[in-house]
Amino acid sequence: MVQTILILAANPKGTTQLRLDEEVREIDAGLQRAKHRDQFVLEQKWAVRPRDIHRAMLDINPSIVHFSGHGTGDEGLVFEDETGSAKLVDGEALAGLFELFADQVECVVLNGCYSQVQALAIAQHVNYVIGMKKAIGDRAAIEFAVAFYDALASGRPVEFAYKFGCAAIRLAGVPEQLTPILKKKPDIDEKVIKISLPQEQLSVPNELASEPDQELNDSDREILTELLIRSGRAEYSARKALCIKTGIEPNQLGFLRQSTDADFALELISYLHSVDDKQALCKICKELEIVFKRGKYSADLENIKSKLNCK
């Protein structure tokens, strides 16, 4: 089954000029060289106005929708009006539109600053939505988008493609790999694990579909972050030792010298989750067990270790 990717790009006059043409060109080039290039069609809409969005949804019937442009947080994503000036569209309006196409749209990518708010709203109706939890630079946005679609077009599932995109940001030497966030529909069909490709072409084992509960959720990561702060292992004097014990090269962590314990703990857990380093997360759990083994958090740690399949 051919999957159509719809790119909606907007860079209104009076806003910072973004390298949107480079982003789209690189995505297209990646798809053209991909293993499963015949399974994807790329459609582009530029200088997009709100009216253009719903027309494109009707005319193109995409399974993946990619927004490229500016975001402003609670106020919405920045599209254009009839004069080419900025026109804000909030998350609830976008969510209402995507609800009507929930049976066909599998994934939405909001590659604009502060788009987490809109991602949360849209994820009530769409299986996978990617947003940005803070401002993201041009280079990081391009690295993420290109790697994300490279992974999809190689037959990988959305969650892998998301992590691959985050890893690509870091490999490029840009310290923004924690900015993209993936949100999933609350009642997502456990069988819907990847963008559909013919069964014989799938390169990831089907066992992934039978273990949807093995992925750490937001609550699990918040617990690990809180316990890491409480344990004292996130204090500046203890960070390097923690990294060494968990098999992480301290010099590779650009956030090692974050000013607060909370910042370091949050960045470390988010980073390990984004690169899917379950072994390091297991070692952190073991470190935390030393402190909280008989406390009220022991059950939480055991649950997280079970999800990570810690030995």
Q: What is the per-residue pLDDT across 227-247, written as a single tens digit (0 to 9) for each?
A: 888 888 888 888 888 988 888
Residue 274 has pLDDT above 60, yes or no: yes
Is pLDDT at 143 greater than 60 in this prediction?
Answer: yes
Judgement on whether residues 94 and 189 belong to the same structural domain of the protein: yes
249 has pLDDT over 90:
no
Residues 192 and 232 in one domain: no
CATH number of the domain bearing residue 74: 3.40.50.1460
Structural domain count of the chain? 2
Q: Has residue 152 got a pLDDT over 70?
A: yes
pLDDT of residue 187 exceeding 80, the answer is: no
> 174 with 223, same domain?
no
In angstroms, rounded to a whole number, what is the distance separating the alpha carbons of residues 137 and 144? Answer: 11
Residues 91 and 205 both lie in one domain: yes
Mean pLDDT in residue range 86-97: 96
Please, which residues have CB within 8 angstroms of residue 79's CB and are 6 or more apart in sequence? 8, 10, 12, 48, 49, 50, 53, 69, 86, 87, 88, 89
Of 212, 233, 249, which closes a domain? 212
pLDDT band at 258 (very low <50, low <70, confident <90, very high): low
| pLDDT for position 142 | 95
- For residue 210, pLDDT over 70 is answered with no
Q: How far apart are alpha carbons 99 and 5 in whole angstroms?
A: 18
Q: 45 and 194 in one domain?
A: yes
Residues 270 and 223 in one domain: yes
Domain that holds residue 103: 3-212
The per-residue DSSP string of 231-261 comes to HTTTSHHHHHHHHHHTT--GGG-TTTT-SSH
Residues in the chain: 311
- Residue where one domain finishes, among candidates 163, 191, 212: 212
Q: Model confidence at 214, in pLDDT bands (50, 70, 90)? A: low
Same domain, 222 and 164: no
User: Does residue 242 share a domain with residue 110?
Assistant: no
Same domain for 192 and 148:
yes
Instruction: Indicate if 149 and 281 belong to the same structural domain.
Output: no
Mean pLDDT score, 119-128 = 96
pLDDT over threshold 90, residue 291 = no
- In this prediction, residue 77 carries a pLDDT of 96
- 208 pLDDT band (50/70/90 cuts)? very low
pLDDT of residue 189: 53
Task: Tell me the pLDDT tens digit for each residue of 63-77.
Answer: 999 999 999 999 999
Single out the residue of 13, 261, 274, 52 nearest to residue 144, CA to CA: 274
Asked if 149 and 296 sit in the same domain, the reply is no
| Per-chain mean pLDDT for the chain | 86
How large a percentage of the chain has pLDDT more than 70?
89
Q: How confident is the model at residue 28 (pLDDT cuts 50, 70, 90)?
A: very high
pLDDT at 3 (0 to 100): 92
Q: What is the maximum span of the chain, computed from C-alpha positions, in angstroms?
A: 64
Q: Return the pLDDT at 190.
A: 44
**Rounded-to-integer distance, Cα 32 and Cα 121, Å:** 32
Predicted local distance difference test score (pLDDT) of residue 198:
44
Q: Which of 212, 236, 262 is the last residue before a domain boundary?
A: 212
Same domain, 183 and 248: no
Sequence-ordered list of residues with C-beta below 8 angstroms from that of 214, at least 6 positions apart, any chain: 307, 308, 309
Q: Are strands 107-111 and 64-68 parallel, antiparallel or unpaired?
A: parallel
